[in-house]
Structure 1
């Protein structure tokens, strides 16, 4: 059964907040003193874990970003700056020494120490943890406690993205309380985690949402709201309805079809920018028919990406010919790639080289009903079938099942994508190398692996992009997956809500502390 919060619950279970534009001055003044904000996660219906080491889904990180801190963070201009760290010093031979801020308290009142940092990283690196985020620390050789507020992270040679991978982003390296984890155990901790963040989880209603309470001893100052309600609303359109009706104060996403209309609504703020994300068709290279390179190439040329951007996300994005988005401009390739453009004649010619006949192959394309994902699959299937005469069909399930099937290899094809990734290795390394944890396709090429490894080690920002560009080009020539588009990110807020700074990795709860009603 799909876990999701119904529209009825949104409308009945959350105290309605009328729009500022319809209020008297006295009512607006009273509203400005509200102690609760309702920030809905829209377009998603599942949160499995709030343990940073185990988290893998973007709605999980939406919450984690407010509950925890990293040693580092991104500032408003996307510069990597200290967070829990007071100072950072590079070490000869690779790695860094971090002096921690003193007096930082966890939600249970205990103080942050270097032992907590070491425990956090050792646990992520431990194979028994099976952390999907272990690759972020893949070149870390040792974590040493120097004194209660000093920790060293030693690496095997230079490791270019380490500081980026220690930020409070989609990294899984957020610092947890050693004592709390050992006392609670992994399962309990995943549902009631103890971090240093501005918010602590005071209630979790499976499939419905969470309640966050302000951390009064937060080291950067107590949040402006006492409580944040975080309902899960599976359909983005339902989130718009709830916002327009005053049942919620903001959303994590917005339906692309409504963005232009919503921008004309004076009662709603629309925050919008190109995002750090990649959207693609994941294909199982270990199964027929995608084990055949000619079949893969034919399919990749059989649909029009420009039309998909218009029909699926209503122009809120750009076509893609690789996995690295334009928001990483130094790494983004603008060179045309023959197999990544719509060319029906070339697609049919390539299919003629395949060992499979298009009319004899049935392919299920997995999707789910939330937001635009179902439309994504439907348009892809329709175009490919029309161009090639194949028998592709859409298989609709829930998001959790779609994810589980792709992870286990129980699929032929599926719409997929990742957002919130801030370093090129999270695209090329995670998606295209033999050991990449997001490589559900089963793609493997030693040259790509070697180039990605060189990119990890290269600290010269002028040289590093070439390794990733070359690796991506090889993988796209072999059609390791079928890139489709990169989408804009959006947040919707009521007009009188202030303090949210949108970042291209689609941040969310990390901004709640500074938010207030004007």
Structure 2
């Protein structure tokens, strides 16, 4: 064969093997997506886990639960037994059948590490699982648990990996052989610090995704990500508003038709957790003063460019059982100073208050690569300085911030409620687990045990009125003790280039509907 003919064959093969550029959707994320173990947490990224692994049931935007890998279910009269009919003809991407044996193998693997998931009350409530037939799975609880179906719909841990991909250690960190799910995407390549590549799952029961490839580029800096979108290095920005600076979002939104942009309805609440077990935020007067001193309206207008609405409570009134009619703490710096004066915090010559030789100084921890958190932190630092509270800003990698949340090494720390379907039940449930910032922030409260007991009772309540009463008791206590500083209601944003069509918001913050996106050139054929 001549050199020219060889070259022609090589070019032909290259185009035959690699998908056309228009068949690749390029996204970005601050880190690699991780090993994608469906039953573990960080460094596994939730949006990627949800792209590979699927649940028995699906949470919908209207708050209802829809069939997914299970086509139907029944619940016993006592609320303890759930019988699921599984979808026929589903296989994992390695060809392994999805059946009741596979479902039980996954539940067994999750429950073998039950302590790892103790933030989620459902894992503690499961008594046993049974194979009731080839496509019939039974879940038996110790007690009734109202959020069972919603918690089965979460991005983790109750999702399903091929039993053939489980090693001797099941789905422990060392046990999983490969990330093999039933979902629309397969992880096919990882380049540390560079990118992760997914391929469409050709055997997906729900229909072929609109793109052949999904490439997730590692871009830690939001400004760099915005530039990458503008230059065409990536096609899509999607996620919490901090994915790119708000001014960049507004600028790109104005550049239609080259770009399309949208903002979701409020999905969660952006908060600071105030550590009640660590000085000086162990003083209730300090926590109340912080809540009174931050000018959230100005913060929302200037830092968030009005994209996120102001929040006054831990949950938005639209969250089930959360509309309690409580009075907001409100912006009132004079009242904040009065609170500190009455508590014995005396203004010093340097402008920082002190009591008993202790300066009124707190540490505010945030993810250093999150430009939005940094900007919010700087505004809060300035607002609190005006009433004599010194704030030291600490920006660290996400893993370091997660470690602080777990062990309580913080004064003030950024967090968010988890949005649907977690809020309110699953989020409240996790407050009882020491591995979360909420527990660490609350553990200094005198009635922490009573708050936890009320949460436990609410989760088991079968009477909606009783569940609402108990939830109100918890939320009222948290509001009155000012253990949170609500800032804004978090939204999702998306900006995409004109080459992409079919972009829509998912029902939650943590699941991105990549499979419904497709090249704009293919729109006419759909």
For normalisation by structure 2, the TM-score amounts to: 0.83
What CA RMSD, in Å, does the superposition of the two structures yield over aligned residues? 2.7
Instruction: Pick one of 347, 351, 358 that aligns with 2:336.
Output: 347
Q: Tell me which residue corresponds to 1:260.
A: 250
Q: Which moved more, 1:80-89 or 1:202-211?
A: 202-211
Tell me: CA distance 1:218–1:116, structure 2 relative to 1, closer, same or farther (3 Å). same
CA distance in structure 2 between the partners assigned to 1:331 and 1:191 by the alignment: 43
CA offset digits 1:160-203 (Å, max 9, x no partner): 11111111x44421122233122686336669411111111111
Query: Which residue number in structure 2 is paired with residue 86 of structure 1?
Result: 71
Q: CA deviation at 1:379?
A: 1.0
In the alignment, is residue 150 of structure 1 matched against residue 136 of structure 2? yes
**More moved, 414-423 vs 222-231:** 414-423
What does residue range 287-326 of structure 1 map to in structure 2 within 5 Å?
287-326=278-317
User: Which structure has the larger Rg?
Assistant: 2
CA displacement 1:259-315 (0-9 Å, x = unmatched)? 333332211121212232121112222221122212211222121122221233111
Please give the secondary structure, in 2, of the residue aligned with 1:372. Answer: helix
Show CA shifts across 1:6-56 (max 9, x none).
xxxxxxxxxxxxxxxxxxxxxxxxx99832111223xx3364552232225
CA apart distance, 1:132: 6.3
Kept in 2, the 8 Å contact 1:441–1:481? The answer is no
User: Which has the larger displacement, 89-98 or 454-463?
Assistant: 454-463
Question: Which residue is 1:160 aligned to?
Answer: 146
**Cα offset, 1:410, TM superposition:** 2.0
CA contact (8 A) 1:117 1:175 kept: yes
Q: Counterparts in 2 of 1:467-486, with a 5 A limit?
A: 467-486=470-489
In the other structure, the counterpart of 2:396 is 397
Equivalent in the alignment of 2:3: none
Q: What SS class does the counterpart of residue 102 from structure 1 fall into?
A: coil
> Do the aligned partners of residues 329 and 154 (structure 1) sit closer, same or farther apart at CA in structure 2, a change above 3 Å counting?
closer
Q: Offset of 1:363 from its aligned partner?
A: 1.8
Q: 2:92 aligns with which of 95, 102, 106?
A: 106
1:124-143 equivalent positions in 2, closer than 5 A: 124-127=110-113, 130-131=116-117, 134-143=120-129
Task: Please tell me whether residue 495 in structure 1 is matched to residue 498 in structure 2.
Answer: yes
**8 Å Cα contact 2:121-2:429 kept in structure 1:** no
Cα distance per residue 1:308-358 (max 9 Å; x no partner): 212331111122222213452652344313xx3222222122213436553
Q: Could you tell me whether the CA contact under 8 Å between 2:503 and 2:516 is conserved in 1?
A: no
1:496 deviates by 4.0
Pair 1:129–1:275, CA change in 2 (3 A): same
Asked if structure 1 preserves the Cα contact closer than 8 Å seen for 2:70 and 2:84, the reply is: yes
- Contact 1:107/1:195 (CA < 8 Å) preserved in 2? yes
SS at 1:201 equivalent:
strand
Match of 2:47 in 1: 62
Q: Distance in 1 between matches of 2:498 and 2:62?
A: 24
Distance 1:194 1:327, change over 3 A: farther
Name the structure 2 match of 1:366. Answer: 365
Q: Structure 1: how far apart are the matches of 2:46 and 2:223? A: 22
Alpha-carbon distance between aligned partners in 2 of 1:32 and 1:507, rounded to the nearest angstrom: 29
Rounded to whole Å, the distance in 2 between the matches of 1:413 and 1:278 is 16
Aligned match of 1:506 in 504, 509, 523?
509
- Determine the C-alpha separation between the residues in 2 that align with 1:294 and 1:268: 48
Partner Cα distance (1:375, 1:191) in 2 = 42
CA contact (8 A) 2:506 2:512 kept: no
- Change in Cα spacing, 1:190 to 1:260, as seen in structure 2 (3 Å) is farther
What is the count of residue pairs matched by the alignment? 480
Distance 1:206 1:192 in 2: 17
Q: TM-score with structure 1 length normalisation?
A: 0.84
Consecutive unaligned residues of structure 1, counting only runs of 5 or more, are 1-30
Q: Does 1:74 align with 2:59?
A: yes
Taking the aligned partners of 1:33 and 1:196, their CA distance within structure 2 comes to: 26
In 2, Cα distance between equivalents of 1:191 and 1:212: 17
* Equivalent residues of 2:314, 2:417 under 8 A apart: no
2:101 & 2:120 partners in 1: Cα distance? 19
- Equivalent of 2:184, from 198, 221, 233? 198
**Which residue does the alignment assign to 2:272?**
281
